[in-house]
C-alpha cells in the first residue's frame, strides 16, 4: 500500500506543543532564582531546570551544513552507501574531497553553516522522530516523556514539508 504524506502525518504526528516548549524555553537560566520552587525542594527544582534547558535546545536554530556547502558549490557525488567513502565534488573547480558528513566537509573548508529557525514543536511517534533525525531534523525523544520534533517550516500543512515528502517517497520504494 502506498503511503501518502497526509496518511503519514495522520498516523505519526500527534499534537502541537509549541506554546509549551516556548514557555519553558523562556524560563531557561532563571529557574534557580524563583522563590516558589524552593518550597518544592531541590529535586523538583532540578527537574524543572533540566526541562527548561531541553526546551531551550529544542527552540534553538538548527545548523544546516548541507545547504551552506551546496551554496558554496559542493555536491555529493557518492553517499558511501556502497561501502565506500562519501565523496564530495566542488563544482567550481572540480576538486574532490572525502568527508564523513556535510558538517565535516564544512569544517574542513571553513564554510559557516546556515541557521534554520525553529517555528513549531510537535509530538510525534518515535519512528517518525528517528526518520526525521536521519534527515537532519532536530528531535528530542524524552522531553518530559514525549517525543518532540522541532519543525523548521510554518504556514503550510505538515504533509507539504519536503522532509515528510522525502520520508514517504523512501517508504514507498
* Res. 2: pLDDT tops 80: yes
| Centroid of chain to Cα 62 | 6
User: Do 138 and 150 meet the contact criterion of CB atoms below 8 Å apart?
Assistant: yes
Assess whether 162 and 91 both reside in one domain: no
Assess whether 48 and 73 both reside in one domain: no
Q: How far, CA to CA in Å, does 71 sit from each of 28, 61, 68, 125?
A: 34, 19, 5, 33
The pLDDT value given to residue 171? 93
Helix (H, G, I), strand (E, B) or coil at 92: coil
Q: What are phi and psi of 120, to 5 degrees?
A: -140, 160
DSSP annotation of 73: T
Q: What pTM value is reported for the model?
A: 0.80
Assess whether 126 and 102 both reside in one domain: no
* Res. 35: pLDDT tops 70: no
Assess whether 104 and 121 both reside in one domain: no
Domain around 140: 5-61+117-171
Which tens digits make up the pLDDT trace of 53-105? 999 999 999 999 999 999 999 999 988 877 778 999 999 999 999 999 999 99
Please state the domain count of the chain: 2
Give me 136's grid cell. Answer: 537532519
Amino acid at each position: 500500500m502506498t503511503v501518502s504524506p497526509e496518511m503519514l502525518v495522520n498516523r505519526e504526528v500527534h499534537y502541537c506543543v509549541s506554546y509549551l516548549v516556548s514557555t519553558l524555553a523562556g524560563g531557561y537560566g532563571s529557574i534557580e532564582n524563583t522563590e516558589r520552587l524552593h518550597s518544592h525542594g531541590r529535586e523538583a527544582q532540578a527537574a524543572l531546570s533540566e526541562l527548561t534547558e531541553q526546551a531551550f535546545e529544542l527552540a534553538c536554530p538548527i545548523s544546516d551544513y548541507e545547504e551552506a556547502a551546496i551554496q558554496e558549490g559542493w555536491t555529493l557525488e557518492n553517499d558511501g552507501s556502497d561501502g565506500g567513502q562519501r565523496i564530495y565534488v566542488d563544482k567550481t573547480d572540480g576538486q574532490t574531497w572525502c568527508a564523513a558528513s556535510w558538517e565535516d566537509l564544512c569544517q574542513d573548508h571553513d564554510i559557516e553553516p546556515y541557521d534554520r529557525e525553529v517555528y513549531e514543536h510537535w509530538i510525534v511517534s518515535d519512528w517518525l522522530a528517528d526518520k526525521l533525525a536521519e534527515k537532519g531534523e532536530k528531535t528530542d525523544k524524552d522531553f518530559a516523556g514525549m517525543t518532540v520534533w522541532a519543525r523548521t517550516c510554518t504556514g503550510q500543512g505538515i504533509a507539504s514539508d519536503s522532509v515528510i515528502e522525502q520520508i514517504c517517497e523512501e517508504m514507498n520504494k
